[in-house]
Chain A
Amino acid sequence: MGITAQEVGRIRRADSGFDADRIRQDFPILTQTVHGKPLVYLDNAATTQKPRAVIEAEQQFYLRDNSNIHRGVHELSERATQAYESARRKAQKFLGAGHSREIIFVRGATEAINLVAQTFGRERTGPGDEILISAMEHHSNIVPWQILCEQNGARLRVAPINDRGELIWEEFRKLLGPRTRLVSVAHVSNALGTVNPVKEIVQAAHRLGVPVLVDGAQGAPHLRVDVEELNCDFYAFSGHKVYGPTGVGVLYGKAKLLEAMPPYQGGGDMISSVTFEKTTYNSPPYKFEAGTPNIAGVVALGAALDYVNDIGMEAIAAYEQELLVYATQRISQVPGLTIIGTAKEKTGVISFVMEGLHPHDVGTVLDQEGVAVRTGHHCAQPLMDRFKVPATTRASLALYNTRQDVDALLAGLNKVREVLG
C-alpha cells in the first residue's frame, strides 16, 4: 500500500472521533436485507446512498416551496430561488471557489465535461491541436473529446500509466506540448482508485499556458477539494456520488474563462434580452443554465454538501483511508486474487480479478450474500485493455461502510470459491 506507519497513526487519530455506526443510522436504505442477508453496499463509486436529510430536503421542496426560479414575483418563487442560489453558495464553499458565479449546475460530471468540450473546446481548438487525457479516464472524459476531435480535426493524446495504475509523469510531460490546448484528467480513477497529482499537472500545464479540467466525479466525494489551491481551470463532479440526488452536478470554471466562453445550450434563463434579430446572453453562471434546471435536485444537493461538511471532508477522507488499508490487507490474502490498481495514492476503490473466475459470476454470488459490488468494465474499457482483463469486480467504499462490511465481502468471496470452485 505504501502507507507509512506514521501515516497510519495519523489516520487512526483522525479516525478516533468518527462514528460510522451512528452515520449509518442517517441512511434508511442501509437497514434492509437483500436475498435474506443484511445489505452490504460496496458500489459507492457507481452511486452513493442518500442520508435522510437529502431525501427530506427534496421532499420538503415539493411539499412547501416548489416553484420556478429567477422569474416569479410571488412568495414561492422567491423561496425556490433562495433555496437554489443558497445551494450554489454551498457548492462554492465545498469546492473552495472564489465566487458563486463560478458554479454552474449541470446534470452531472458527464454533462459538465461535454459543456466544456462544446464551448471552450470548440472555440479554442482546431485542426492539429491536441487535447491531453490519461489512460485511466472514464468514458465520460474520453468520448466528449473524441466527438470534439471529429468536429474540428483536433487530436486526442493519451498519457500512459504504469502497472500500479499511476500516471507516468515523464510520459505525461512529453505529451504536454506546443499543440496542447487543454488537459483533462480524473482527480481519482473510478476503476482503480488512483489519485492523480492534480496540482502538479496544473502547474506543468500552466507553465505552457494550457488550461486544465479536473474530472472530480470520484474526487469530490472522497477528498477535500480546494479549486483555488489546485488552481485548476475547471472542476466537475456529480451530486449523486456525494450523497446527493441523481440528475444534478456541478461544473466549476474560473470566472474569466466562463465569461469568454460561448453558451452551451440556448433557451430561457441564459439570456439578457432576445429579439428575432439579436440575443444578448446572460452572464455566468446563468449563461450556461438554459431552461428550468433540476431545482429540487440542486436544493437536495445543497443538503448533501451540508451533510458532508458537518462531518468534515478531511475526517471522511481519513476514515475511508483507514478502511481502505484494512480492506486491502484482508482482500489481498484471498488465494488467487489479484488487485488491479495498487497506486501509492488511492481512495477507497478495490478492483480485483480472481483466477479462473469471471467477475460476473463473482458478482452474482456476492449479491446472493447481500453484498453489492460492481462487475464489468466500469465505463473504462481502454483501461481494462491496458491491464488485459475484460472486466473486474470492484468494491468501493463510502463514509458509512465499516470493517464489518469488509468482513462480509471476505465471507462472500469464500462463498464464491465454495460455489464456483
Chain B
Amino acid sequence: MSDLRALYQEVILDHSKRPRNFRALADSNRHAEGYNPLCGDRITVYVKLDGDRIVDIGFQGSGCAISTASASLLTETLKGKSRAEADELFAKFHDLVTGQGNGGVSLGKLAVFSGVSEFPVRVKCATLAWHTLKSALEGEEKTVSTE
C-alpha cells in the first residue's frame, strides 16, 4: 500500500465526509475549543460527564480530512469510557501517529491512523481533537492551540 493510501484509508475518508457525533450537545457539562493556526482548523468538543464517565460526546468545527476523521473516530471510541481510559487511549494514539509504540494493536478502529506516522506534518491534524478533549476534561476554558 502506498503511503498516500495508508494515510487516506477508506475509514478515514468515510469519517471525514460523514463525521459521526457532529453536533453540539445541549446537555454537555464540559467543552473546549481547539485551533491549529497552521491550517486554520477549528474544533469544539462537547462532553457530558457523569461522574468519571463520558456518557455522551460530540464535536463541531471545520478541518482537513485527517483532523475531522480523527475527531469523529474519537467520539465513537470514547462514548461510555472513563476518563482514565480516555487518557490511556490518547497516550497510545499519540504513540501510534508519531511512529512509536506497537502500531496500534490495542487501539481498535483508531489503528487506521497508523499511516500518519509517515507524514510528520500531519501529526497535529490527527491529535487536535484529542488535545481539545483533554482540555475539556480538565475543565480549561482557553482555546487549545497546536502551536
Partner among A357, A365, A391, A421 whose Cβ is within 8 Å of the Cβ of B39:
A391
For A365, list chain B residues within 8 Å (CB).
4, 8
Does B39 contact A376, Cβ atoms closer than 8 Å?
yes
Does B62 contact A390, Cβ atoms closer than 8 Å?
yes
CB nearest to B3 among chain A residues: A368
For B66, list chain A residues within 8 Å (CB).
360-361
Task: State the Cβ distance, A354 to closest chain B Cβ, in Å.
Answer: 12
Does A81 interact with chain B (Cβ within 8 Å)?
Answer: no
Does B39 contact A359, Cβ atoms closer than 8 Å?
yes
- Give the contact-size bracket for chain A: 20 to 34
Does A368 contact B40, Cβ atoms closer than 8 Å?
no
For B55, list chain A residues within 8 Å (CB).
none
CB nearest to A377 among chain B residues: B40
Does B94 interact with chain A (Cβ within 8 Å)?
Answer: no
CB nearest to B8 among chain A residues: A419
- What CA separation (Å) do A330 and B41 show in the bound complex? 29
Does A356 interact with chain B (Cβ within 8 Å)?
Answer: yes
Does B38 contact A358, Cβ atoms closer than 8 Å?
no
Q: Which of B51-69 contact A (CB under 8 A)?
A: 62-66, 68
Q: Which of B8-34 contact A (CB under 8 A)?
A: 8, 13, 17
Does B40 contact A419, Cβ atoms closer than 8 Å?
no
- What CA separation (Å) do A358 and B13 show in the bound complex? 12
Does B41 contact A368, Cβ atoms closer than 8 Å?
no
- Contact A419-B119, Cβ < 8 Å, known A360-B64, A384-B40, A390-B62: no
- What CA separation (Å) do A377 and B125 show in the bound complex? 16
Does A361 contact B64, Cβ atoms closer than 8 Å?
yes
Does A390 contact B17, Cβ atoms closer than 8 Å?
no
- Contact A390-B8, Cβ < 8 Å, known A420-B13, A421-B13: no
- The contact string, 1 if C-beta is below 8 Å from chain A, for chain B 80-106, is 000000000000000000000000000
Does A375 interact with chain B (Cβ within 8 Å)?
Answer: yes
Does A47 interact with chain B (Cβ within 8 Å)?
Answer: no
- Contact A360-B7, Cβ < 8 Å, known A390-B62, A420-B13, A420-B65: no
Does A119 interact with chain B (Cβ within 8 Å)?
Answer: no
- Nearest first, the 9 A-B pairs at minimum CB distance are A390-B40, A358-B64, A360-B64, A391-B40, A360-B39, A361-B65, A361-B64, A368-B4, A419-B8
User: Residues on B close to A: CB < 8 A?
Assistant: 2-5, 7-8, 13, 17, 38-42, 62-66, 68, 119, 122, 125
User: Residues on A close to B: CB < 8 A?
Assistant: 35, 356-361, 364-365, 368, 375-377, 381, 384, 390-391, 419-421
